[in-house]
Protein backbone atom coordinates (compact mmCIF):
# COMPACT_ATOMS: atom_id res chain seq x y z
CA UNK A 1 0.00 0.00 0.00
CA UNK A 2 1.24 3.50 -0.78
CA UNK A 3 1.66 6.09 1.97
CA UNK A 4 -1.70 7.77 1.39
CA UNK A 5 -3.56 4.49 1.65
CA UNK A 6 -1.58 3.50 4.75
CA UNK A 7 -2.60 6.74 6.43
CA UNK A 8 -6.23 6.29 5.35
CA UNK A 9 -6.31 2.73 6.68
CA UNK A 10 -4.87 3.93 9.99
CA UNK A 11 -7.65 6.51 10.28
CA UNK A 12 -10.30 3.94 9.43
CA UNK A 13 -8.80 1.57 11.97
CA UNK A 14 -9.26 4.22 14.66
CA UNK A 15 -12.90 4.67 13.69
CA UNK A 16 -13.55 0.93 13.73
CA UNK A 17 -11.87 0.58 17.13
CA UNK A 18 -14.57 2.90 18.52
CA UNK A 19 -17.20 0.27 17.64
CA UNK A 20 -20.71 0.97 16.41
CA UNK A 21 -19.81 0.06 12.82
CA UNK A 22 -22.39 -1.13 10.30
CA UNK A 23 -21.01 -2.81 7.17
CA UNK A 24 -22.70 -2.47 3.78
CA UNK A 25 -21.07 -4.84 1.30
CA UNK A 26 -21.35 -5.17 -2.46
CA UNK A 27 -20.10 -7.38 -5.26
CA UNK A 28 -16.57 -5.99 -5.09
CA UNK A 29 -16.03 -7.84 -1.82
CA UNK A 30 -16.47 -11.18 -3.57
CA UNK A 31 -14.32 -10.65 -6.66
CA UNK A 32 -11.30 -12.19 -4.93
CA UNK A 33 -13.42 -15.32 -4.46
CA UNK A 34 -13.75 -15.60 -8.24
CA UNK A 35 -17.19 -14.00 -8.52
CA UNK A 36 -17.15 -11.06 -10.94
CA UNK A 37 -18.77 -7.76 -10.12
CA UNK A 38 -20.63 -5.63 -12.65
CA UNK A 39 -18.90 -2.28 -12.68
CA UNK A 40 -15.50 -2.59 -11.00
CA UNK A 41 -12.12 -3.39 -12.56
CA UNK A 42 -12.86 -7.12 -12.57
CA UNK A 43 -16.45 -6.76 -13.70
CA UNK A 44 -17.90 -8.74 -16.58
CA UNK A 45 -19.75 -6.99 -19.36
CA UNK A 46 -23.27 -8.37 -19.36
CA UNK A 47 -24.35 -9.56 -22.78
CA UNK A 48 -27.98 -10.17 -21.83
CA UNK A 49 -30.58 -8.17 -19.95
CA UNK A 50 -30.95 -9.23 -16.30
CA UNK A 51 -34.01 -11.34 -15.66
CA UNK A 52 -37.04 -9.44 -14.40
CA UNK A 53 -39.69 -10.93 -12.16
CA UNK A 54 -42.39 -10.15 -14.72
CA UNK A 55 -40.56 -11.96 -17.54
CA UNK A 56 -39.67 -14.92 -15.33
CA UNK A 57 -43.27 -15.52 -14.29
CA UNK A 58 -44.97 -14.81 -17.63
CA UNK A 59 -42.62 -16.16 -20.31
CA UNK A 60 -41.95 -19.95 -20.25
CA UNK A 61 -39.21 -19.68 -22.89
CA UNK A 62 -37.38 -16.94 -20.98
CA UNK A 63 -37.78 -18.94 -17.77
CA UNK A 64 -36.23 -22.01 -19.40
CA UNK A 65 -33.39 -19.88 -20.73
CA UNK A 66 -32.81 -18.41 -17.29
CA UNK A 67 -32.74 -21.78 -15.51
CA UNK A 68 -30.25 -23.22 -18.01
CA UNK A 69 -27.93 -20.26 -17.47
CA UNK A 70 -28.42 -20.18 -13.72
CA UNK A 71 -27.90 -23.93 -13.40
CA UNK A 72 -24.53 -23.62 -15.06
CA UNK A 73 -23.64 -20.43 -13.19
CA UNK A 74 -24.33 -22.10 -9.85
CA UNK A 75 -21.54 -24.57 -10.53
CA UNK A 76 -19.16 -21.62 -10.15
CA UNK A 77 -20.97 -19.48 -7.56
CA UNK A 78 -21.81 -22.48 -5.39
CA UNK A 79 -18.17 -23.55 -5.18
CA UNK A 80 -16.82 -20.10 -4.31
CA UNK A 81 -15.13 -19.77 -0.94
CA UNK A 82 -14.76 -16.76 1.37
CA UNK A 83 -11.72 -14.59 0.83
CA UNK A 84 -9.58 -12.60 3.26
CA UNK A 85 -12.03 -9.71 3.12
CA UNK A 86 -15.00 -11.84 4.22
CA UNK A 87 -12.93 -13.40 6.99
CA UNK A 88 -11.78 -9.97 8.19
CA UNK A 89 -15.38 -8.76 8.45
CA UNK A 90 -16.28 -11.87 10.46
CA UNK A 91 -13.35 -11.23 12.82
CA UNK A 92 -14.42 -7.63 13.37
CA UNK A 93 -17.89 -8.86 14.24
CA UNK A 94 -16.48 -11.48 16.60
CA UNK A 95 -14.52 -8.74 18.38
CA UNK A 96 -17.76 -6.84 18.98
CA UNK A 97 -16.89 -3.89 16.75
CA UNK A 98 -19.78 -4.31 14.30
CA UNK A 99 -23.40 -3.59 15.07
CA UNK A 100 -24.56 -5.20 11.84
CA UNK A 101 -23.75 -6.49 8.36
CA UNK A 102 -25.92 -5.61 5.38
CA UNK A 103 -25.03 -7.17 2.05
CA UNK A 104 -26.22 -6.64 -1.50
CA UNK A 105 -24.57 -9.94 -2.45
CA UNK A 106 -26.44 -13.21 -2.96
CA UNK A 107 -23.47 -15.57 -2.57
CA UNK A 108 -23.65 -16.32 1.18
CA UNK A 109 -19.90 -15.82 1.61
CA UNK A 110 -20.21 -13.62 4.69
CA UNK A 111 -21.88 -16.48 6.55
CA UNK A 112 -19.45 -19.03 5.12
CA UNK A 113 -16.65 -16.95 6.66
CA UNK A 114 -18.33 -17.09 10.08
CA UNK A 115 -20.42 -13.90 10.14
CA UNK A 116 -23.78 -14.02 11.92
CA UNK A 117 -27.16 -12.33 11.48
CA UNK A 118 -26.32 -10.95 8.05
CA UNK A 119 -29.12 -8.99 6.38
CA UNK A 120 -29.22 -10.27 2.80
CA UNK A 121 -30.97 -7.43 0.99
CA UNK A 122 -31.31 -9.34 -2.26
CA UNK A 123 -31.64 -12.87 -0.90
CA UNK A 124 -29.39 -15.89 -1.38
CA UNK A 125 -28.80 -18.07 -4.43
CA UNK A 126 -28.38 -21.14 -2.20
CA UNK A 127 -32.12 -21.19 -1.52
CA UNK A 128 -34.98 -21.99 -3.88
CA UNK A 129 -38.48 -20.67 -3.24
CA UNK A 130 -41.81 -21.81 -4.66
CA UNK A 131 -43.96 -18.96 -5.95
CA UNK A 132 -47.04 -21.09 -5.33
CA UNK A 133 -46.80 -22.38 -1.77
CA UNK A 134 -43.77 -20.47 -0.51
CA UNK A 135 -41.77 -23.60 0.36
CA UNK A 136 -38.00 -23.19 0.59
CA UNK A 137 -35.52 -25.84 -0.50
CA UNK A 138 -31.73 -26.04 -0.87
CA UNK A 139 -30.14 -25.21 -4.20
CA UNK A 140 -28.35 -28.57 -4.20
CA UNK A 141 -31.72 -30.33 -4.38
CA UNK A 142 -32.74 -28.21 -7.36
CA UNK A 143 -29.42 -28.88 -9.05
CA UNK A 144 -29.82 -32.64 -8.66
CA UNK A 145 -33.32 -32.53 -10.11
CA UNK A 146 -32.20 -30.44 -13.10
CA UNK A 147 -29.27 -32.80 -13.72
CA UNK A 148 -31.64 -35.76 -13.64
CA UNK A 149 -34.01 -34.37 -16.28
CA UNK A 150 -31.23 -32.86 -18.42
CA UNK A 151 -28.59 -35.61 -18.60
CA UNK A 152 -27.30 -34.40 -21.96
CA UNK A 153 -27.00 -30.72 -21.01
CA UNK A 154 -23.46 -29.61 -21.80
CA UNK A 155 -23.67 -25.84 -21.91
CA UNK A 156 -20.40 -23.92 -21.82
CA UNK A 157 -20.38 -20.52 -20.14
CA UNK A 158 -19.10 -17.54 -22.12
CA UNK A 159 -19.03 -15.39 -18.97
CA UNK A 160 -20.43 -15.30 -15.45
CA UNK A 161 -22.26 -12.51 -13.65
CA UNK A 162 -22.34 -11.58 -9.99
CA UNK A 163 -25.91 -12.85 -9.64
CA UNK A 164 -24.90 -16.36 -10.73
CA UNK A 165 -26.36 -15.97 -14.22
CA UNK A 166 -24.04 -17.46 -16.85
CA UNK A 167 -23.84 -16.25 -20.45
CA UNK A 168 -24.42 -19.13 -22.87
CA UNK A 169 -24.53 -19.62 -26.60
CA UNK A 170 -28.20 -19.73 -27.64
CA UNK A 171 -27.93 -23.24 -29.12
CA UNK A 172 -26.79 -24.54 -25.71
CA UNK A 173 -30.32 -24.02 -24.43
CA UNK A 174 -32.06 -26.35 -26.86
CA UNK A 175 -34.12 -28.98 -25.07
CA UNK A 176 -33.37 -27.82 -21.53
CA UNK A 177 -36.16 -28.91 -19.17
CA UNK A 178 -37.31 -26.97 -16.11
CA UNK A 179 -38.74 -28.62 -12.98
CA UNK A 180 -41.53 -27.35 -10.73
CA UNK A 181 -42.33 -27.56 -7.03
CA UNK A 182 -42.62 -31.14 -5.76
CA UNK A 183 -45.28 -30.09 -3.28
CA UNK A 184 -47.74 -27.97 -5.26
CA UNK A 185 -46.42 -27.88 -8.83
CA UNK A 186 -45.77 -24.14 -8.62
CA UNK A 187 -43.00 -22.16 -10.27
CA UNK A 188 -39.60 -22.33 -8.62
CA UNK A 189 -37.10 -19.47 -8.55
CA UNK A 190 -33.91 -18.71 -6.65
CA UNK A 191 -34.73 -16.92 -3.41
CA UNK A 192 -33.30 -13.63 -4.68
CA UNK A 193 -34.79 -10.28 -5.59
CA UNK A 194 -35.10 -9.88 -9.35
CA UNK A 195 -35.31 -6.63 -11.26
CA UNK A 196 -38.94 -5.55 -10.99
CA UNK A 197 -39.25 -6.91 -7.46
CA UNK A 198 -38.87 -4.88 -4.30
CA UNK A 199 -36.63 -5.77 -1.39
CA UNK A 200 -38.86 -7.07 1.45
CA UNK A 201 -39.88 -4.14 3.63
CA UNK A 202 -38.72 -5.80 6.85
CA UNK A 203 -35.14 -6.10 5.53
CA UNK A 204 -35.08 -2.46 4.47
CA UNK A 205 -36.57 -1.30 7.77
CA UNK A 206 -34.06 -3.27 9.84
CA UNK A 207 -31.18 -1.98 7.68
CA UNK A 208 -32.28 1.64 8.14
CA UNK A 209 -32.48 1.07 11.90
CA UNK A 210 -28.92 -0.23 11.98
CA UNK A 211 -27.60 2.65 9.89
CA UNK A 212 -29.41 5.32 11.91
CA UNK A 213 -27.90 4.00 15.15
CA UNK A 214 -24.38 3.46 13.82
CA UNK A 215 -21.28 5.46 14.59
CA UNK A 216 -19.75 4.58 11.19
CA UNK A 217 -21.26 3.16 8.00
CA UNK A 218 -18.51 1.15 6.31
CA UNK A 219 -19.20 0.47 2.62
CA UNK A 220 -17.15 -2.38 1.15
CA UNK A 221 -16.87 -3.13 -2.55
CA UNK A 222 -19.92 -1.30 -3.87
CA UNK A 223 -20.12 1.22 -6.69
CA UNK A 224 -23.42 2.39 -5.13
CA UNK A 225 -24.75 2.87 -8.64
CA UNK A 226 -28.23 1.62 -7.78
CA UNK A 227 -30.43 3.14 -5.10
CA UNK A 228 -30.82 -0.22 -3.35
CA UNK A 229 -27.48 0.38 -1.64
CA UNK A 230 -26.98 4.13 -2.03
CA UNK A 231 -30.09 4.93 0.02
CA UNK A 232 -28.29 3.74 3.15
CA UNK A 233 -25.41 6.11 2.50
CA UNK A 234 -27.89 8.95 2.02
CA UNK A 235 -29.66 8.01 5.24
CA UNK A 236 -26.36 7.96 7.13
CA UNK A 237 -25.45 11.43 5.85
CA UNK A 238 -28.90 12.73 6.75
CA UNK A 239 -28.38 11.58 10.35
CA UNK A 240 -24.84 12.95 10.59
CA UNK A 241 -23.22 9.51 10.60
CA UNK A 242 -19.79 9.30 9.02
CA UNK A 243 -19.39 7.16 5.93
CA UNK A 244 -16.22 5.28 5.03
CA UNK A 245 -15.87 3.53 1.68
CA UNK A 246 -13.31 0.95 0.60
CA UNK A 247 -13.69 0.15 -3.09
CA UNK A 248 -11.67 -0.40 -6.24
CA UNK A 249 -12.49 2.35 -8.71
CA UNK A 250 -15.31 4.86 -8.98
CA UNK A 251 -18.21 4.87 -6.55
CA UNK A 252 -21.22 7.18 -6.53
CA UNK A 253 -20.91 7.36 -2.76
CA UNK A 254 -17.61 9.26 -2.83
CA UNK A 255 -19.20 12.75 -2.57
CA UNK A 256 -20.86 11.64 0.69
CA UNK A 257 -17.88 9.85 2.20
CA UNK A 258 -15.83 11.16 5.09
CA UNK A 259 -13.15 8.72 3.96
CA UNK A 260 -12.71 6.95 0.60
CA UNK A 261 -10.00 4.31 0.15
CA UNK A 262 -9.39 3.13 -3.42
CA UNK A 263 -7.52 -0.12 -2.78
CA UNK A 264 -8.01 -3.93 -2.89
CA UNK A 265 -10.33 -5.07 -0.11
CA UNK A 266 -8.36 -8.29 0.37
CA UNK A 267 -5.37 -6.18 1.43
CA UNK A 268 -7.07 -3.40 3.39
CA UNK A 269 -9.57 -5.41 5.44
CA UNK A 270 -7.11 -7.89 7.02
CA UNK A 271 -5.12 -4.89 8.31
CA UNK A 272 -8.28 -3.48 9.89
CA UNK A 273 -9.05 -6.80 11.56
CA UNK A 274 -5.68 -7.17 13.27
CA UNK A 275 -5.90 -7.19 17.08
CA UNK A 276 -5.26 -3.82 18.69
CA UNK A 277 -1.72 -3.36 20.10
CA UNK A 278 -1.40 -4.21 23.76
**Orientation angle between helical segments 3-17 and 265-272, nearest 10 degrees:** 40
The DSSP secondary-structure symbol of 162 reads T
Residues 208, 225: Cα–Cα separation, whole Å: 18
Note whether 194 and 53 are within 8 A (CB): yes
Catalytic annotation on 122? Answer: yes
**How high is the pLDDT of residue 42?**
44
**How high is the pLDDT of residue 50?**
77
**How high is the pLDDT of residue 45?**
43
Q: Please identify which of the residues 86, 122, 239, 271 carries the catalytic annotation.
A: 122
* Residue 52 annotated in ligand binding: no
Instruction: Give the rounded distance of the alpha carbon of 164 from its chain centre.
Output: 10
* Residue 159 annotated in ligand binding: no
**How high is the pLDDT of residue 46?**
44
* Residue 90 annotated in ligand binding: no
- Chunked mean pLDDT (size 10), the chain, 278 residues: 90 97 96 76 52 93 89 83 97 97 96 98 96 96 94 63 58 81 97 91 98 98 92 97 96 95 95 74
Residues 86, 110: Cα–Cα separation, whole Å: 6
Residues 158, 47: Cα–Cα separation, whole Å: 10
**How high is the pLDDT of residue 104?**
95
Q: Which fold has domain 3-272?
A: Rossmann fold (3.40.50)
Burial class (CB in 10 A: 0-12, 13-18, 19+), 25: buried
Instruction: Give the rounded distance of the alpha carbon of 100 from its chain centre.
Output: 15
Burial class (CB in 10 A: 0-12, 13-18, 19+), 176: buried
**How high is the pLDDT of residue 65?**
87
* Residue 184 annotated in ligand binding: yes
Instruction: Give the rounded distance of the alpha carbon of 202 from its chain centre.
Output: 18
Amino acid sequence: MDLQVVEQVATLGEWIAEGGVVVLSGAGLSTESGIPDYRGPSGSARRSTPMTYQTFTRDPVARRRYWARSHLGWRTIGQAEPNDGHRAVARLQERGLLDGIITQNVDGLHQAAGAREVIELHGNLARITCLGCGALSPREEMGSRLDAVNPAFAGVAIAFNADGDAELAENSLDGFTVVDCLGCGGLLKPDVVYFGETVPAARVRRSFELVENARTLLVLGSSLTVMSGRRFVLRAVKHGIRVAIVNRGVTRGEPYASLFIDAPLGIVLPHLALPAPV
